[in-house]
Amino acid sequence: MRMVDAIREAMRAELAADPSVVLLGEDVSVGGPFGATKGLQDEFGAARIRDTPISEAAVMGLAVGAAAAGLRPIVEIMFMDFATLALDQLVNHAAKLRYMSGGQLSIPLTVRMQAGASGAFGAHHSQSLEAWLAHVPGLKVVAASTPADAYGLLRAAIRDPDPVVIIEHRALYWGRGPVETGEAGIVPLGSAVVRRPGVDATIVSWSRMTATALAAADLLAAEGIQAEVIDLRGLQPMDTGTVLASVRRTGRAVVAHEAVGFGGLGAEVAARIGEDAFDALRAPVQRVAAPFTPVPAAPDLERAFVPGATAVAAAVRRTLARPDPHRRSLEEGR
């Protein structure tokens, strides 16, 4: 199944199972910009699949109120960049109403945001802003790298009693993979997965960069280097247990993401490793990220902007080239 079809099937399953689930967004009746909602209005009616004005602030405000009143809205934000227009409602209201009401209000809101650089859409339509959202207490944030996870995480998000942001990379929409539908296909929020086992270094990634990390692991394998690849999936909450267990086995870590490096979630992952697995590290944690610049529109520049497998593999080699400080300390002690 293509990822975009898996997303549609997840929404269809939850719409059919729960009459309180509704879908809101610009042009969702005809499928939205990438066809993820195509056909749902024909199946469930205009009362539950509602086109909205071109105002992300209004859409999010409507959804927060609907969630507080007992519905389970799914909001489609065409491009993650446009979430900036909805942050007041999402960050100051949806994320805080449970806390501010002393637990009396629940906001079961799911926000689907398409993100990432692909197709030369330019700086206004290509950003990866997950670090902004993961920084907000009260929001859960997830990002799928496979059609199966896109299906399973979305169904789990719709059922969650709190607001969840789903980050969908448009470059992954047309990729195919096996999808287990039904209850067995639901993926718990906040759970990482090891995509490839290894013993020499750990690569932590999410969304499209997981495939890049796997490609880097293939390059390294040809050199006899076995890299373990972890797909974080949950950005908030974050499954640091899986990450730390891997780093304690390998002793070396690389964090790779498409967002710009400064202030990115890679820094948070690196800090967690430094705080809780420092004694196991044999080299400093390496980060691989986009340069600190707006996303270029020119296709060649966009390709240069997004880190590739060679950059990730080079970071792993850098960690392996560093001398083991623990071993050096032992030798100096003798």
Output the DSSP codes for 33-70: TTTTTTTHHHHH-TTTEEE--S-HHHHHHHHHHHHHTT
**pLDDT at site 99:** 97
Is residue 324 very low, low, confident or very high in pLDDT (cuts 50, 70, 90)? confident
Q: How far apart are CA 180 and CA 176, in angstroms?
A: 13
Please work out, in degrees rounded to the nearest 5, the angle formed at the alpha carbon of residue 260 by the alpha carbons of 258 and 265.
Answer: 75
Residue 331 scores a pLDDT above 80 = no
**How far from each other are the two terminal CA atoms of the chain, in whole angstroms?**
59
DSSP 238: B
Mean pLDDT of 170-175: 96
Comparing 327 with 301, the larger pLDDT belongs to 301
Is residue 322 very low, low, confident or very high in pLDDT (cuts 50, 70, 90)? confident
Residue 332 scores a pLDDT above 90 = no
Catalytic sites, residue numbers? 56, 125
| Per-residue pLDDT reduced to its tens digit, 42-101 | 999 999 999 999 999 999 999 999 999 999 999 999 999 999 999 999 999 999 999 999
Residue 40 scores a pLDDT above 60 = yes
**pLDDT at site 326:** 62
**pLDDT at site 333:** 56
Residue 334 scores a pLDDT above 60 = no
**pLDDT at site 311:** 98
pTM: 0.94
In one letter, which amino acid is 201? A
Domains parsed from the chain with CATH numbers: 3-185 (3.40.50.970), 193-328 (3.40.50.920)
In one letter, which amino acid is 120? A
Phi, psi at 167, each rounded to 5°: -100, 120
Contact of 229 with 199, CB cutoff 8 Å: no
**pLDDT at site 3:** 98
**pLDDT at site 208:** 97
pLDDT, mean over the chain:
95
Per-residue tokens: 60? 């999010």
In the sheet that 234-236 helps form, which strands lie side by side, from edge to edge? 49-51, 21-25, 72-77, 110-115, 164-169, 140-143, 234-236
| Per-residue pLDDT reduced to its tens digit, 104-152 | 999 999 999 999 999 999 999 999 999 999 999 999 999 999 999 999 9
